[in-house]
């Protein structure tokens, strides 16, 4: 194996490691949302959210491996061109590195991209005011009910979107407002089509246990 082939292998290996670590960094937040959006559920998803405390390790590994790939490519660019055959041309290798770097960055920042904005989260939190919210909301049948669920297991600002996605898939649910702080979901639903038990089962299938909030 030539020196250039060895360097190419080093770049490819480090770029693959960066992508793998970036996937690990998004496993606690973005991947559960994608799975729930695709209709894949199960209490086992909660094991993914449990990775949140270790996210910084995956982020560090991702950027370290990506940095090595960039350094290796820079080192290759300073070597004189050779007429030897390689698996990738320099242009193809740099294009692959650029696409890979964008993929790593997108995965790492994805939890913030999918999270609700602070303003939206504040408005959602203010909406958790009990049955009066239904009476004031337009076009909501009087027979509909509202429940405030206390949700356990949310680890970041992206988790409420996963919870809301799971609840909205339940037949009979009219609207969902989920927040990270406080960890709650305000659900308006048709009691003739679903029940509070079905709602808590939906959050459990998304990896988050929940129960109706006790009146203060």
Each residue's pLDDT tens digit, 108-159:
887 777 765 444 444 444 444 444 444 455 566 777 899 999 999 888 878 8
CA–CA separation, 188 vs 185, rounded Å?
10
Answer with the one of 114, 129, 149 that is the final residue of a domain. Answer: 114
CA distance 30 to 67: 23
Same domain assignment for residues 54 and 134: no
As for how many domains the chain has, the answer is: 2
Q: Do 131 and 102 lie in a common domain?
A: no
pLDDT tens digits, 4-58: 555 566 677 888 888 888 888 888 778 888 888 887 767 677 778 778 888 889 9
Asked whether residue 61 falls in the same domain as residue 33, the answer is yes
Q: Could you tell me the residue range of the domain that residue 147 belongs to? A: 118-212
CA–CA dist 15, 7 (Å, integer): 12
73 and 25 in a single domain? The answer is yes
How far apart CA 11 and CA 3 sit, in angstroms, is 12
CB neighbour list of residue 57: distance below 8 Å, 6 or more residues apart: none
DSSP 8-state class, residue 88? S
């Amino acid at each position: 194996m030539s020196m250039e082939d060895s360097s190419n292998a080093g770049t490819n290996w480090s770029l693959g490691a960066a992508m793998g670590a970036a996937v690990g960094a998004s496993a606690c937040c973005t991947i559960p949302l994608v799975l729930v959006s695709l209709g894949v559920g199960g209490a086992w998803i909660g094991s993914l959210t449990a990775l949140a405390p270790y996210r910084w390790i995956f982020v560090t590994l991702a950027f370290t491996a990506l940095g090595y790939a960039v350094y290796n490519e820079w080192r290759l660019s300073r070597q004189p061109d050779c007429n030897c055959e390689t698996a990738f041309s320099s242009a193809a290798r740099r294009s692959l590195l650029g696409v890979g770097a964008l993929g790593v960055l997108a995965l790492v920042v994805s939890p913030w991209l999918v999270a609700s904005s602070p303003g939206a989260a504040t408005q959602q939190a203010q909406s958790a005011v009990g049955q009066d919210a239904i009476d004031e909301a337009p076009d909501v049948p009087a027979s509909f009910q509202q429940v405030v669920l206390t949700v356990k297991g949310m680890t970041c600002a992206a988790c409420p979107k996963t919870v809301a996605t799971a609840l909205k898939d339940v037949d009979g649910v009219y609207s969902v407002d989920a927040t990270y702080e406080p960890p709650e979901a305000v659900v308006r639903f048709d009691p003739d089509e679903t029940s509070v038990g079905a709602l808590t089962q939906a959050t459990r299938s998304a990896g988050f246990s929940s129960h109706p909030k006790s009146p203060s």
